[in-house]
Amino acid sequence: LREFCHSMQVRYIKRVPSFSVEKYQDSIGTSVEHEKVTRYNCVRRASLLMPNTELEKTLWKYIMKTVLQKIDDDQPLECLSEMRQATIVFVNMQFKGGERDQEQCMTIHQAAIGIGQQIVKHHGRVNKVFMFDKGCTFLCLFVLPGDKREDESAHPLQAAYGVQCCPTGLSLGVTTGPMFCGVVGHPVRHEYTVIGRKVNLAARLMMHYPGVVSWDSENCYYSKLPVFYFNELPMKALKGVKNPGVLYQFMANKHQMYDHLM
């Protein structure tokens, strides 16, 4: 008999965790009255709170008006989700890298106020704020249920220009097209969001064309603006997006834009 010896290299040894998840779950919420939610197979516990009008009004500030309208109309959850034509505005703010945490917080706070004012002023909604390695990103939505208007193509244009005039160094990607607008996530952690090809395209435009307001061809068409308001951008490879079409940079100044749109 011939014996063969096989050698093996141990790259790392995984240690058995000593942390007890069960004990941690049992300890959650012991300071307040609670009960375990069994309908949705949820491991978290729900606190039993008495109705509090002031608390409800405070929480309303963090819920989009589009969702609040459906709740006030006592509509079922299914009515919150639909495929519709909407406009996406992605706003990205980059940091130089040497800022302190307090400086970054103040910059983000001031940018959030300025961006929020411009978006709401032109009938849009700030849906999400992301903080990751590519800076701070704001996802803004236009033409949601309840926000449809005759001049809906002009509002994202005005808002995008107003946002770019706030802090310096902002990059904006704006697209228009059909997308899913509705509720996603676990039943006890729902969120209102948008999903679709145009959403991905807006995010890619924001990152690949820094410092400008970049648009897709649909936005340029629906805006009804003269061609000198837009400058064709060079084509770039956009991850996850095939055939994005002709892309443009918005070039108008404030007086030209408002004279044409008013």
Asked if residue 1 is part of any domain, the answer here is no
Q: For 233-252, what is the mean pLDDT?
A: 85
* C-alpha distances in Å from residue 258, one per residue of 34, 122, 152, 252, 253: 55, 13, 15, 10, 9
Question: pLDDT band at 47, cuts 50/70/90?
Answer: low
199-211: burial string, b at 16+ Cβ within 10 Å, e else: bbbbbbbbbbbee
Asked if residue 134 is part of any domain, the answer here is yes
* Parent domain of 181: 77-261
Burial class for 129, CB neighbours closer than 10 Å (0-12, 13-18, 19+): middle
Asked if residue 3 is part of any domain, the answer here is no
Question: pLDDT band at 31, cuts 50/70/90?
Answer: low
- Mean pLDDT, the chain, integer: 80
Beta strand ranges found along 68-185 (DSSP E): 82-93, 125-132, 135-142, 170-184
pLDDT tens for 201-215 read 999 999 889 888 898
Give the pLDDT score at 1. Answer: 45
Asked if residue 127 is part of any domain, the answer here is yes
Distance CA 164, CA 75 (A): 37
Asked if residue 32 is part of any domain, the answer here is no
Distance CA 157, CA 174 (A): 9
Question: pLDDT band at 98, cuts 50/70/90?
Answer: confident
DSSP symbol at 6 = -
* C-alpha distances in Å from residue 262, one per residue of 147, 175, 249, 258: 19, 22, 21, 6
Q: For 64-76, what is the mean pLDDT?
A: 85
Name 84's bridge partners: 179
Q: 73 vs 256, which has greater pLDDT?
A: 73
Q: For 94-104, what is the mean pLDDT?
A: 81
Give the pLDDT score at 90. Answer: 94
Distance CA 120, CA 124 (A): 5
Asked if residue 68 is part of any domain, the answer here is no
Q: For 136-144, what is the mean pLDDT?
A: 91
Residue that the structure tokens 């890619």 belong to? 204
Q: What's this model's pTM, rounded to 2 decimal places?
A: 0.74
Total domains in the fold of the chain: 1
CATH number for 92: 3.30.70.1230
Least confident window among 163-172, 204-213, 253-262: 253-262
Asked if residue 27 is part of any domain, the answer here is no
Asked if residue 71 is part of any domain, the answer here is no
| Pairing relationship of beta strands 213-216 and 170-184 according to DSSP bridges | parallel
